[in-house]
Structure 1
Amino acid sequence: MELMLDTANLEEIQRGISLYPISGVTTNPSIIKEERAQDFFGHMKSIRTLIGHQRSLHVQVVADACPSIISEAEKILSELGDETFIKIPVTEEGLKAIRLLSERGVSVTATAVYTTIQGILAMLSGARYIAVYYNRMLNIDIDAPKVIKELSGLLWANAGCCQVLAASFKNVSEITTAYAQGASCCTVAPSLLSTGLHMPSIAKAVDDFHASWQQVYGDKTLLDL
C-alpha cells in the first residue's frame, strides 16, 4: 500500500512528509493554480527538494494531441529528472502518448480515469499508475468502488506491475473504502489526513490515559521512574 499527498503547497508537503508515511506527491494544473506559482518548474524543483528522490513526483501535461503531449513530457523530464512520473489523461490521444512514452521507459501515471475500460486501456498501454477519480465519479453516478475493485482484480489476476491510484476524495470514508476495494495507493489532500486524526473520541481517549497515569504516578513521567 502507498499513500501520496495531492498538493503543490510546500508547507503542506513539508508537514505531511514529517508526519505521515508518504511515498509521493501528485500535482495537476488545478492544484498548481491554487499556489499561483509563476515559475512552474522552479516550484516543481522545490517540491523535489522537499521530498527527495526516494519519493515519487507526478507532474501532468496540459497538451491534448499526442505529439504535443510527448514534447511536454520530454520537457518535464529534462527539467525535473527521468524518475518523474508523467501524468496523462486517458483520451485516445493520451493513450497513444502513454504507449509511446512507456515503450521508451518513461514512467506514466494515467489520469482522469472514470471507467473500467479507460483503466484497462491505460494498463495495456503501459501506465504504471491508474488515477481513478473517486468523488468525481460518485457525483455523476458512476460506482467508484466497483471500478476500483474491477481494475484491482484484473491487475491481481494478470500479475500486472501497474497500480490503482485512487484520487479525488472529499472525506475520510471515501479513502478507506478505496483501499478496502483494492486500491494499492491513494493520493489525498493533507487536510483530510488531519481530519482523520483530529476527532473528539481520539482526544478523549488520550486524556483518559493521562488522567489514569496521574492518579497512580502524579506528575512523574516514564523517564522519572
Structure 2
Amino acid sequence: MKFFIDTANLDQIKEAQDLGILDGVTTNPSLMAKEGIKGAENIKKHYVDICEIVDGDVSAEVIATDFDGMISEGLELAALHNQIVVKVPCTKNGIKAVKYLSTKGIRTNCTLIFSVGQALLAAKAGATYVSPFVGRLDDICTDGIDLIRQIVDMNSYYGFETQVLAASVRHTMHMVQCIEAGADVTTSPLNAITGLLNHPLTDKGLAQFLADYNKLNG
C-alpha cells in the first residue's frame, strides 16, 4: 500500500520524505489556507515546491465547479510539473472533466467519493485515483472502511485500473483497516503514519536491550 501525506505543510512533507516511505502528497484549498498560502500564483508555486520535495504524485485540486473552469484550471495545474495529478470533485461536471483530462493523458484524482456508484462513474471516466472519504462517513455512523472494501472488490471484478485512495484517514487504526480492506493508497496526517511505529513491546524490548548492554559495559 502506498502512503500519501495529506497536508500543504512543507516541513511535515520533508519529515515524511526523510522516513523513506512517502509515495505522494494530497492537498486541497483548506490545507493551503491553513498554511497561509493565498493567491493563485502563490498556490501554484507551493505545488511546485511540494513536487521538488517528493518523488511521487502530488494531487492539486481545482477550485472551479463548472466544466470549462475545471478544464482550464486542470490544464494549468498539470503544466506546472509532471508529478501533478489534477484533483476534481465527483460531480457531473467533475466526471466530464475526468474523462476529458484522461483523454489528454492527464492523470486525475476524483475526490469526495461517498458511494460505490460514484467510484464506478469515476473509474469508467478514466480516473487515476478515486478518493473515498473514510472519516467523514464514520462521522455520520456509516462504515467508511466497508466502502473502501466494496470499491476495491468492484475494481477487481471489472478490471478497472483506477487506484483506491483512502482519504479522510484520521488515525493509525484507520491505516491498519485500510490495509486489511486492500486500499491501494492512504492519505493521512503525518501522525497517522508515524503512529504505525508505536508498540509498547518495541519500547520495552529496546529498554531491556539497553539495560543489558549497560550492565555488561558499565
| Deviation at residue 43 of structure 1 after TM alignment | 1.2
Aligned-pair distance for 1:26? 0.6
Partner of 1:160: 160
Q: Which has the larger radius of gyration?
A: 1
Residue pair 1:98, 1:108 contacting (<8 A) in 2 also? yes
1:109 aligned counterpart, secondary structure: strand
Residue type at the aligned position of 1:87? K
1:204 Cα deviation from its structure 2 partner: 2.4
Q: CA deviation at 1:210?
A: 1.4
Specify every segment of 5 or more residues in structure 1 that has no aligned partner in the other structure, as ranges.
220-225
Asked if 2 retains the 8 angstrom alpha-carbon contact of 1:7 and 1:25, the reply is yes
Residue 141 of structure 1: CA displacement?
Answer: 2.4
Q: TM-score, normalised on structure 1? A: 0.90
Task: Pick which of 11-20 and 197-206 moved more.
Answer: 197-206
Q: Which residue of 2 aligns with 1:64?
A: 65
1:149 and 2:149 matched: yes
CA deviation vs aligned residue, 1:15-74 (integer Å, no higher than 9, x gap): 1100141111111111111110131111111111111xx311110001111111001101
Look up the match of 1:77.
78
Contact 1:83 1:107 in 2 (8 A): no
C-alpha separation in 1, matches of 2:62 and 2:76: 10
Give distance in 1, aligned partners of 2:171 and 2:82: 34
Q: Tell me whether 1:50 sits opposite 2:53 in the alignment.
A: yes
The CA distance in 2 between the partners of 1:118 and 1:208, in whole Å, is 52
CA distance in 2, matches of 1:83, 1:45: 9
- d(CA) in 2 for partners of 1:34, 1:201: 37
Where structure 2 has 5 or more consecutive residues not aligned to the other structure, the ranges are none
In the alignment, which residue of structure 2 is the partner of 1:5?
A: 5
Q: By how many angstroms is 1:205 displaced?
A: 2.3
* Mapped contact 2:102–2:127 kept (Cα < 8 A): yes
SS at match of 1:63: coil
Aligned-partner SS, 1:169: coil
TM-score (ref. length: structure 2): 0.92
Aligned length: 215
Q: Matched residues in 2 for 1:31 and 1:202: separation?
A: 34
1:81 CA drift (Å): 2.3
1:113 counterpart = 2:113: yes
In 1, distance between residues paired with 2:182 and 2:120?
15
Local SS of the residue matching 1:170: coil
| CA RMSD of superposed structures (Å) | 1.6
Displacement after TM superposition at 1:8 (Å) = 0.9
Distance in 2 separating the partners of 1:37 and 1:201:
42
Q: Matches of 1:12 and 1:46 in 2, distance apart? A: 13
Following superposition, the deviation at residue 201 of structure 1 comes to 4.4
How far is the alpha carbon of 1:2 from its aligned partner?
Answer: 0.7
| Matches of 1:214 and 1:197, distance apart in 2 | 25
Q: What is the CA-CA distance between 1:160 and the residue it aligns to?
A: 2.1
Q: Distance in 1 between matches of 2:194 and 2:181?
A: 23
4+ residue runs over 4 A deviation: 198-201
